[in-house]
């Protein structure tokens, strides 16, 4: 950041937005989303950043993130160096670095707003949505919530019914090896190549790897990547055997760290996919802009705005939900 003596002001808002009634995270109902928005002003420029630890997934809770965030904003507003991002909570590092990136004019305005639609039951309902998609016809199915056999039959039905469809499957470590075998048994080997990847099919990474090798199906690391980046000796090349890595910035850390993982994944021939941790429309649009800048050809996993009952400050394209402003949220600190 520019360290010249010039006017800097910072504000910290705490937001609360109601969620759709059916949102459940790791057996806990999420009735509202709570987090923070940073507002920075410097030399006539304004920038925002969202810090929203995800309950049940983030190491830090909302209060811990808020305390650390306020400390950093006090440093910044007094022209003092910030704590290195790798020493901050991931959600704080991401929101802060995103605001700084925007303030410096380093974040492009254009966003990658393509979304892989979520499939739940009827292939006929999906076809019109896919027909409007540009490029690869890719959709997503949550598996592991019901019986493995039912999931396998549903995935097979979609792949058989729509010949140009690729599917991303998200299992969230739901299966033991026997359940994973039950699932894949109902998908013929000729269809499996159109499964782009299954995110974390088994509870243990080694079981996921064995499942991939034994059944000729691609897997993606999500939680395994989140666990690995916490280690000081983290090296993406150690996460072998996966076709893709799912990068959730709120759970991974700063923009710089996310970009480094993207670039390293490309070098290793692994598909990097930027994905949501149920950020508000404000945070989602920034991740979409990041996705356009670094992964313009890849469909990001940012289809979570429908889980909210309202948007925040910045509208997601073609979203009909009402838009709340920052002024309606709680201003808890300012410089």
pLDDT surpassing 60 at residue 5: no
Residues belonging to the binding site are 170, 199, 222
Return the pLDDT at 70.
98
Closest-CA residue to 165 (of 137, 186, 146): 137
CATH of domain 123-307: 3.20.20.120
Active site (annotated) includes residue 29? no
Tens digits of per-residue pLDDT, 153-166?
Answer: 999 999 998 999 99
Q: Which of 29, 137, 142, 243 is catalytic?
A: 142
- In contact, 75 and 263? CB cutoff 8 Å: no
Nearest-angstrom CA–CA distance, 227 and 79: 34
DSSP bridge pairs for 220:
199, 244
pTM for this model (two decimals): 0.93
Chain-centroid distance, C-alpha 126? 23
Please check whether the domain covering 9-107+323-334 is classified as CATH 1.10.10.10.
no
Over residues 90-119, mean pLDDT: 95
Return the pLDDT at 27.
73
Return the pLDDT at 263.
97
Return the pLDDT at 90.
98
Q: How many Cα neighbours within 13 Å face the side chain of 195?
A: 29
Nearest-angstrom CA–CA distance, 164 and 296: 21
For residue 192, the tally of other CB atoms under 10 A from its CB is: 17
Nearest-angstrom CA–CA distance, 295 and 53: 24
Tens digits of per-residue pLDDT, 199-218?
Answer: 999 999 999 999 999 999 99
Closest-CA residue to 3 (of 73, 75, 74, 80): 80
DSSP bridge pairs for 25:
28
Q: Which of 45, 248, 266, 271 is catalytic?
A: 248
Residues belonging to the binding site for Mg(2+) are 170, 199, 222
What does the domain layout of the chain look like in residue ranges? 9-107+323-334, 123-307
Return the pLDDT at 24.
78
Closest-CA residue to 285 (of 52, 111, 117): 111
Active site (annotated) includes residue 248? yes
Nearest-angstrom CA–CA distance, 280 and 16: 10
Report the percent of the chain where pLDDT is more than 70: 98
């Amino acid at each position: 950041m520019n360290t010249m003596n010039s006017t800097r002001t910072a504000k910290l808002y705490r937001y609360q937005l109601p969620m759709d009634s059916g949102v459940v995270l790791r057996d806990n109902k999420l009735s509202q989303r709570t987090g923070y928005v940073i507002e920075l002003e410097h030399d006539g420029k304004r920038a925002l950043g969202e810090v929203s630890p995800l309950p049940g997934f983030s190491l830090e809770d909302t209060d811990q993130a808020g305390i650390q965030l306020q400390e950093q904003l006090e440093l910044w507003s007094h022209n003092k160096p910030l704590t290195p991002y790798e020493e901050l909570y991931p959600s704080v590092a991401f929101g802060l670095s995103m605001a700084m990136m925007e303030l410096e004019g380093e974040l492009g305005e254009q966003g990658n707003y393509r979304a892989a639609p979520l499939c739940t039951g009827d292939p006929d309902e999906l076809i019109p949505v896919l027909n409007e998609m540009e490029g690869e016809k890719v959709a997503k199915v949550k598996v592991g919530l019901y019986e493995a056999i039912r999931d396998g039959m549903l995935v097979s039905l979609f792949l058989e019914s729509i010949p140009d469809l690729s599917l991303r499957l998200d299992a969230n470590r739901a299966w033991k090896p026997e359940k994973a075998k039950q699932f894949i048994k109902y998908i013929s080997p000729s269809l499996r190549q159109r499964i782009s990847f299954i995110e974390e099919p088994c509870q243990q990474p080694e079981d996921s790897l064995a499942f991939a090798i034994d059944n000729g199906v691609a897997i993606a690391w999500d939680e395994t990547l989140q666990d690995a980046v916490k280690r000081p000796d983290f090296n993406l090349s150690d996460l072998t055997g996966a076709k893709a890595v799912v990068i959730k910035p709120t759970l991974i850390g700063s923009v710089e760290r996310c970009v480094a993982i993207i670039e390293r994944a490309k070098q290793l021939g692994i598909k990097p996919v930027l994905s949501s941790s149920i950020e508000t429309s404000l945070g989602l649009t920034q991740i979409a802009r990041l996705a356009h800048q670094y992964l313009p050809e890849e469909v990001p996993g940012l289809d979570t705005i429908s889980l909210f009952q309202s948007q925040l400050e910045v509208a997601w394209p073609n979203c009909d939900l009402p838009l709340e402003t920052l002024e309606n949220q709680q201003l808890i600190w300012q410089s």
